[in-house]
Amino acid sequence: MRAMRKGIGVSPGVAVGTAYCIHEVFVRPQTRPLEAAEVAGELRRFEKAVKKSLADLRALAQKVASQVGKEPAAVFRAHQAILRDPAFTTKMRQAIETQRQPAEAALHDVLAEYTAIFDRTHDEYLKQRLADVRDVILRLSEHLSPMLANDPAADSDRLIVVAQELLPSQVVALGGKRLAGIVTQSGGATSHAAILARGQGIPAVSGVRDILRQVTNGDLVVVDGSSGYVVVNPDPETESAYRKLQREYFQLQDVLAENRDAPARLADGEAIELLANINGLTDAQAATAVGAAGVGLFRTEYLFLTHPDVPDEEEQLAAYREILATCPQRRITIRTLDLGGDKTIPYLGRQREANPFMGWRSIRLSFEHPEFFLTQVRAILRAGGEEHAEVRMLFPMITTLEEMRRVRSMVNRARKRLQAEGKPVGPVPLGLMVEVPAAAVCIDALLSVVDFVSIGSNDLVQYLMAADRDNPKVSHLCQPLSPAVLRVLRRVIESCHKAGKPVTLCGEMAGLPRAFALLVGMGLRSMSMSPALLPGIKELASHLTAEQTRKMLRRAMKLKTTEQVLTYLRDEVDRLAPNLKLLDSM
Ligand code: PEP
Ligand code: MG
């Protein structure tokens, strides 16, 4: 049945492909009851998944105990205890044997039962244990049905993944497969899954409610990441219209690829520094392939999220060296671990917080695990000691001057200790991410203790507008071109210029044509973005003069609503660079 749905376009481009639905354990899979003859096999499948999960957890507990400490390792022992708990295994066996449920459906129901029980308690500690149960159940379900592995539906080479939400670790796990497009029920334009999709140039649409009920494996699906439309089983005319758009999009990419070695310049010749945001080695290769001037943001979370346990100093150093050797001009800004919010690793302790994005995340978490944090700082300082490398270190979520001072003195101590150990370290300038409004407001004071600034507009926008960046219900508020955001950005950029401190912007807005034009108008000359967006921005830059962008900024600053700003800029950018319409996903 044909269906057309609207979501939020989070990664531009058009893809036509075959649906592959990921029914996570948190969304009850549509399954038929088991035949009597299938029950014994299903029980064996469940036991096997339990054994594999226990083996994972034992290994994790051991490594975490030796590298982070006994206390953080306790969480994995607690997870083993849940898996061995007869109350849990009996429930599962009963669901399979008596109710003839497949293991995945049984897991879902057992989780629902636990959730209902935990919801009734007012004890915060107990409530937090639900996160552990969910974690254990997710691990089990991964062993029951490893994503895409051995699945005939996953054979198509133009696969459109349809899911409730894609966790960052899942996008990484899917990385080996050639994905054509992504559609998710939740998530917003700056959710990390969206950022990963953009990094790989995969068209994606988020926030399409109930899409999993309308799509089944094998359906033909169109994803238009520019307009936010998803079409399921299009009629032949619609299909051919979208296939044409897809071809045009590919052609545009080919044309842009030819500019790879051309310097990034405005139409009047002024140079612009276009850097790449990366999550790992593949992105570093992509950054070089698109001709980035360096890496402006290396999000190190994925190094930790995809590591089987905890990467120690030598492992981290090896990873940084490998990436450094691959990234353009051997220039890289490495951001220290930014966990929390939608990215967690269990060994650092997981709290059930009412407001995780405003809670115990990022640098706050690093302060609480100083040894763990210092291991990363040491590895980054040592990477800076590599020949011909230009390594900078960036700290996320800094809110106050005291925090930045504390970071500086920790880094200084680490540097001295490395020198005493005779290990080569590099100069490694220290930078502040401006992503909390408090830091933006007090930027002048903070500038005295940093070497450079990188504006993290994804978080800055969500905190300024008090609108969760992952929640499609408030995405209309999470707008980087809203008058409030523009005022704050302009002020931060001006303050950095006055203080003579280098400033760049590494949030997703740098790669959006309309936002880019205004940032240039504010005097920003360095931006970092997903590699896939860089060629389009380089082309756009060559259509704009500094004077034109200043004029656009003056006009835009007089407008009172986001809608007015968006409409005005769309018309201007379309007029100045009509060939780039397909790249706009705002
Ligand atoms: C940001 O907040 O703008 C940013 C670049 O960091 P992240 O998207 O990883 O939170
Ligand atoms: Mg951020």
Over the stretch 177-222, which tens digit does the pLDDT of each residue have?
Answer: 668 899 998 877 777 667 777 777 889 999 898 898 888 888 999 9
Per-residue pLDDT of the chain (586 residues; tens, 9 = 90+): 678 899 988 888 899 999 988 766 555 666 688 999 999 999 999 999 999 999 988 887 887 777 666 776 777 888 899 999 998 999 999 999 999 999 988 988 888 888 888 777 777 666 667 777 877 887 888 788 765 544 545 556 688 999 887 765 555 556 556 688 999 988 777 776 677 777 778 899 998 988 988 888 889 999 998 889 999 999 998 899 899 888 888 888 888 888 888 999 999 999 999 999 998 888 898 899 899 999 999 999 888 877 777 899 999 999 999 999 999 999 999 999 998 766 667 677 666 677 888 888 899 999 999 999 999 999 999 999 999 999 999 999 999 999 999 999 999 999 999 999 999 999 999 999 999 999 999 999 999 999 999 999 999 999 999 998 878 888 889 999 999 999 999 999 999 999 999 999 999 999 999 999 999 999 999 999 988 889 999 999 999 999 999 999 999 999 999 999 999 999 999 999 987 776 765 5
Burial, 123: exposed, middle or buried (Cβ in 10 Å; 0-12, 13-18, 19+)?
A: exposed
Cβ pair 19, 181 in contact under 8 A = no
Q: For residue 353, what are its two tokens?
A: 């917080």
Say how far apart CA 85 and CA 72 lie, in whole Å.
21
What is the 105 CA–ligand 2 centroid distance (Å)? 36
Say how far apart CA 392 and CA 382 lie, in whole Å.
11
For residue 275, the model assigns a pLDDT of 98
Cβ pair 83, 49 in contact under 8 A = no
What is the 432 CA–ligand 1 centroid distance (Å)? 12
Ligand 1, closest atom to CA 341? 10
Query: Could you tell me which residues are beta bridge partners of residue 278?
Result: 298
Q: Distance of CA 528 to CAs 189, 437, 476, 487, 525, Å?
A: 17, 20, 24, 20, 10
Report the side by side order of strands in the sheet with 179-184. 3-6, 229-232, 220-224, 14-22, 159-163, 179-184, 204-206, 8-11
Ligand 1, closest atom to CA 455? 3
Active site residue ranges: 192, 506
Q: To test ligand 1's pocket by mutation, which of 299, 333, 533 has the most ligand atoms within 8 angstroms of CB?
A: 299
Task: Kindly state the DSSP code that residue 357 receives in the 8-state scheme.
Answer: G
Residue having the nearest C-alpha atom to atom 3 of ligand 1: 456
Ion ligand 2 neighbours, Cβ < 5 Å: 435, 456, 459
What is the 338 CA–ligand 1 centroid distance (Å)? 9
pLDDT digits (tens, 9 = 90+) for 544-561: 999 999 999 999 999 999
Instruction: Show the beta-strand stretches assigned E in 382-449.
Output: 390-395, 430-434
Q: To test ligand 1's pocket by mutation, which of 334, 399, 458 has the most ligand atoms within 8 angstroms of CB?
A: 458
Ligand 1, closest atom to CA 192? 8
Residue given tokens 């408030």 in the structure block: 474
Residue having the nearest C-alpha atom to atom 4 of ligand 1: 456
Q: What is the CB < 6 Å shell around ligand 1? A: 190, 195, 297, 299, 338, 435, 456-459, 506-507
Ligand 1, closest atom to CA 299? 9
Q: What contacts 66, CB < 8 A, 6 or more positions away?
A: none
Say how far apart CA 574 and CA 244 lie, in whole Å.
21
For residue 245, the model assigns a pLDDT of 87
Q: Nearest to residue 502, comparing CAs of 438, 411, 440, 432?
A: 432
What is the 285 CA–ligand 1 centroid distance (Å)? 21
Ligand 1, closest atom to CA 297? 5
Residue having the nearest C-alpha atom to atom 1 of ligand 1: 456
Ligand with the closest atom to the CA of 343: 1
Ligand with the closest atom to the CA of 299: 1
What is the 139 CA–ligand 2 centroid distance (Å)? 27
Q: To test ligand 1's pocket by mutation, which of 335, 468, 506 has the most ligand atoms within 8 angstroms of CB?
A: 506
For residue 340, the model assigns a pLDDT of 76
Can you give the pTM of this predicted structure? 0.76
To the nearest 10°, report the CA torsion of 557, 560, 562, 565.
Answer: -50
Say how far apart CA 509 and CA 519 lie, in whole Å.
9
Residue having the nearest C-alpha atom to atom 9 of ligand 1: 299
For residue 255, the model assigns a pLDDT of 80
